Amino acid sequence: MKRPNKNKNVLLVMLVGSVLGLVYPIFADDLSTPLPLINGLSIGMAAGFLLGMIEEYVLTPKKRGLAFPWLVGTKTILYAFLFCFLIVGIKGFNESIYYNQPFFSYLRNVVFMDFVVYGDFKIILVYSMVMAGLIIFTKYMSRKLGQEIIYNFITGRYHSPMEEERIFMFVDIKSSTSIAEKLGAFRYYRLLNDFFFDIAASVLEGEGSIYRYVGDQVTITWKLGNKVENARCIRTYLGIKASLSALRERYFDRYQFVPAFRVSLHCGAVVHGEIGDVKSQIVFHGEPLYETARIEKICGELDLPILISGTLKNKMEIPGLTNFEAVEKPQRQADDLSFDLFTVREKEM
């Protein structure tokens, strides 16, 4: 399944690049002719598109062999090389058309050569690299801290607590205690890291936000929307299932087994706000989180791959290749839960 956010991210970076491309000539150039603005806009747009495409489709997070300093160094060399050709090529092309001269002849022009050797070429290159670095760093930190976290901190959206209707999904590895005893601390850590890393693409495809990791469990959340939007959590579950199935051989080679997981889902109103000073976090508080934890325990007791509350089931339109199937609540939990429970079955083709 293709991640829908990728194209949006490329367009967003291209838009930011276009704006930054216009900023430089406004403050640095004589605007007696439209050339500086044309050059700035076209270089910024092309650089943004190139940066977005490379970050989203070439140097993707799945290519995680390099540590952060080496990754930064590699990207710096790559983008410096590409931006050199981009600036020279686009500026030369625009100005050759403006002055009605052949492209390659204009590149050998004394004025243009003076721009490259003694003029603003180096300044424009440094400006482009700094702006590219800020975009990449912001994107990197947004991924590490969680989707929308940086934006929410900067805007102060959750400085004062607010109530929101949200969906919560708990995803945890089955039999994690026995697995940890079998693998040992370091190999178990590697397993968790592989598992969380491998399911991240499905979370992003489903437009979910990773809220927190606790032990072998990851909590994913969505804003409650219409019935079609709410079904994204089921599609995320199916995506995780498909991703791990495709990686069976790799897991077996590394750990001699393929990890199984279970999913618990519920929704409701929670208080969402920023807490703490030295280490601030944006956190959720509310009954839906506790009830999702109870659903998780029942899911384990019944040994089901997925368990969903009737509250959420009634607020979604299930994907076409799946069915809801009612689950009988354990007797000791029947009086405590105010909603029915359902599992999800994939239809046989």
For residue 263, the model assigns a pLDDT of: 96
Mean pLDDT, the chain, whole residue set: 85
Q: Is residue 150 part of a domain?
A: no
Between 296 and 69, whose confidence is greater? Answer: 296
Check whether 65 has a pLDDT greater than 60: no
Assess whether 46 and 169 both reside in one domain: no
Q: Is residue 87 part of a domain?
A: yes
Assess whether 70 and 181 both reside in one domain: no
Percentage above 70 pLDDT, the chain: 85
Between 219 and 205, whose confidence is greater? Answer: 219
Assess whether 209 and 173 both reside in one domain: yes
Assess whether 77 and 167 both reside in one domain: no
Answer with the one of 117, 145, 173 that is the final residue of a domain.
145
Q: Residue 317: which domain range?
A: 159-346
The pLDDT tens digits for 26-38 are: 887 667 788 999 9
Between 2 and 301, whose confidence is greater? Answer: 301
Between 319 and 92, whose confidence is greater? Answer: 92
Distance CA 83, CA 87 (A): 6
Residue 219 sits in a domain of what CATH number?
3.30.70.1230
Assess whether 218 and 78 both reside in one domain: no
pTM above 0.85, yes or no: no
Q: Is residue 153 part of a domain?
A: no
Check whether 1 has a pLDDT greater than 50: no
Q: Is residue 213 part of a domain?
A: yes
The answer to whether the CB of 41 falls within 8 A of the CB of 22 is yes
Q: Is residue 333 part of a domain?
A: yes
Between 55 and 256, whose confidence is greater? Answer: 256
Q: Residue 2: which pLDDT band, with cuts at 50, 70 and 90?
A: very low
Total of domains in the chain:
2
DSSP-derived 3-state class of residue 136: helix
Answer with the one of 121, 145, 169 that is the final residue of a domain.
145
Assess whether 51 and 141 both reside in one domain: yes
Q: What does 313-325 look like in DSSP terms, one character per residue?
A: HTT----TTEEEE
User: What does the pLDDT average to over 72-77?
Assistant: 77
Assess whether 285 and 263 both reside in one domain: yes
Q: Is residue 279 part of a domain?
A: yes
Assess whether 295 and 337 both reside in one domain: yes
For residue 348, the model assigns a pLDDT of: 67
Q: Residue 4: which pLDDT band, with cuts at 50, 70 and 90?
A: very low
Check whether 333 has a pLDDT greater than 90: no
Kind of pairing between the strands at 261-275 and 306-309: parallel
The answer to whether the CB of 253 falls within 8 A of the CB of 209 is no
For residue 183, the model assigns a pLDDT of: 92
Q: Is residue 42 part of a domain?
A: yes
Q: Residue 199: which pLDDT band, with cuts at 50, 70 and 90?
A: very high
Q: Residue 75: which pLDDT band, with cuts at 50, 70 and 90?
A: confident
For residue 3, the model assigns a pLDDT of: 45
Distance CA 302, CA 296 (A): 10
Answer with the one of 78, 111, 145 that is the final residue of a domain.
145
Q: Among 115, 127, 135, 130, which Cα is nearest to 26's? A: 127
Mean pLDDT is highest, among 156-160, 161-165, 228-232, for: 228-232
Assess whether 185 and 311 both reside in one domain: yes
Q: What is the SS3 assignment for the chain?
A: CCCCHHHHHHHHHHHHHHHHHHHHHHHHCCCCCCHHHHHHHHHHHHHHHHHHHHHHHHCCCCCCCCCHHHHHHHHHHHHHHHHHHHHHHHHHHHHHHHCCCCHHHHHCCHHHHHHHHCCCHHHHHHHHHHHHHHHHHHHHHHHHHCCCHHHHHHHCCCCCCEEEEEEEEEEEECCHHHHHHHHCHHHHHHHHHHHHHHHHHHHHHCCCEEEEEECCEEEEEEECCCHHHHCHHHHHHHHHHHHHHHCHHHHHHHHCCCCCEEEEEEEEEEEEEEECCCCCEEEEECHHHHHHHHHHHHHHHHCCCEEEEHHHHCCCCCCCCEEEEEECCCHHHHCCCCCCEEEEEECCC
User: What does the pLDDT average to over 153-162?
Assistant: 68
Check whether 313 has a pLDDT greater than 80: yes
Assess whether 234 and 88 both reside in one domain: no
Assess whether 223 and 188 both reside in one domain: yes
Assess whether 181 and 98 both reside in one domain: no
Q: How far is CA 15 from CA 57, 79, 132, 189, 257, in A?
A: 18, 18, 13, 40, 46
Q: Residue 341: which pLDDT band, with cuts at 50, 70 and 90?
A: very high
